[in-house]
Structure 1
Amino acid sequence: MDASSPSNAAAALLDRANAGSTSSLGRLMGLYSEYLKFVVSSQMDDRLRHRVSASDVVQESFYEAHRDFAAFRGESPQEFLAWLRRILVNNLMRVVERNVTAAKRDVRREVSLERLRRGVEQSSWRFSAMLESDVDSPSTNLRRQESNAELAEVLAKLPADYRRVIRLRNIEGLAFAEVASRMDRTSGAARMLWLRALEQLRLEYSGEIEE
């Protein structure tokens, strides 16, 4: 793998962060910013999304990661990202508790930490599946972490309706009927929008990789 690849860049930033560089820590977290926003958004329903932005949850998680970095015991970017996701899950739980009105049942029974944790992991794997090849290898996990961050950066540049249909279909795993209902479109229109969004994503991502 090229020395300038995102995975090697992340490893170098983590080494410098462990050596005490706060700026390197900030840059390292920035590599995963857009990716984590998509993961958070996939776990927020519409009523919650209207009250709290995914960016706010990610930024709060970054603040806590920066504050508590001395407690991090991992040695690789993959371990660092897993640590960030654990912080993210706890912040999501607090957001749900603060913003969802428990009219008929306790929100703690409705949305548990374990349920959120499973949801975040599932969204992460669905995100990865958009770029998986048919060939597996010992370096697949490393490439997956690298590709997730790169793909999220490209996704963030797409039009809002393209981002939304990809999130609903690919990351939340909804059927086209539900995607259509959420987007106030027919199933056929939702499918066509999804196909156009994927094509644009592939074109933009391929362009990023070739540069």
Structure 2
Amino acid sequence: MSAANDFDTTLAAAKQGADWAWTAIYDEFAPGLLRFITSQGAAEPSDCLGECFVQVVRNLPGFTGDQAAFRAWLFLLARNRVVDEWRAARRRPSSPTDDVERLHEARHQTSAADAGVGEDQSVQQILAALPPDHRAVITLRVLDGFSVEETAQIIGKSAGAVRVIQHRAIKRLKNALARRTQ
């Protein structure tokens, strides 16, 4: 969906329930949303992505806007799903066996064949060490290419707050990377 007309046509068809339109929307936006959800530390990113698209189906008839507004709206929905998951996790105590399983997977996942995965995990570990708002801003601004204003809308903060959070997050990332290379 590169052209605005293609997006408008696809969106209108999705509002009418056309399967091809939903497939096109999912194929276009799901990879970026999944990356964002994963970077935010969701325990079950694919479930969270599914819940996000369920919300899209429910709320699409009321959506108005262009492709950029739709993309920002999707990321807002994804952010809300992640926050809901964080809240639910705080209400549920984790069992010690879950922690042992995660520790075992983390220690035994790297092999010569998946060395690139290890690098990706290092990036994920560094991002995971950031506070949630810092992680969200860095992911949205750097990886997903949203403007300051769009990022502010997605995370529910002012544009000035986003700039400050981004500055602080970059400073933390620099310090974390400096410690890793020493």
Counterparts of residues 197-208 of structure 1 (less than 5 Å): none
Pair 68,117 (structure 1): closer, same or farther in 2 beyond 3 Å: farther
**Structure 1 residues without counterparts, runs of 5 or longer:** 1-5, 104-114, 130-140, 142-171, 189-211
CA-CA distance at 1:68 after TM superposition = 2.3
Q: Where does 1:26-37 land on structure 2 (aligned, <5 Å)?
A: 26-37=23-34
Aligned in 2, Cα 1:55/1:93: closer, same or farther, shift over 3 Å? same
Matched, 1:61 2:77: no
Q: Cα–Cα, structure 1 residues 180 and 93, in superposed 2: closer, same or farther, change >3 Å?
A: same
* 1:38 and 2:35 correspond: yes
2:71 partner letter: L
Tell me if structure 1 keeps the 8 A contact 2:48–2:78. Answer: yes
Q: State the Cα deviation string for residues 68-120 of structure 1 (Å, max 9, x = none).
A: 2212122x2211112212211221111001113699xxxxxxxxxxx967854
Corresponding residue for 2:82? 92
Determine if contact 1:61/1:91 at 8 Å carries over to the other structure.
yes
TM-score, structure 2 length as denominator? 0.51
Pairwise CA RMSD: 3.5
Q: Which runs of 5+ in 2 are unaligned?
A: 94-130, 148-168
1:79 aligns with one of 59, 69, 81: 69
Q: 1:11 to 1:71 in 2, by over 3 A?
A: closer
Whole-angstrom distance in 2 between the partners of 1:178 and 1:16: 47
Output the CA distance in 2 between the equivalents of 1:53 and 1:102: 15
Q: Give the share of equivalent positions with the same residue, in percent.
A: 17
Tell me what 1:178 maps to: 176
Matches within 5 A, 1:151-190: 175=173, 178=176, 186-187=180-181
More helix by share: 2
Normalising by structure 1, what TM-score?
Answer: 0.45
Contact 1:43 1:119 in 2 (8 A): yes
Paired residue type of 2:68:
Q
Shift of 1:19: 4.3
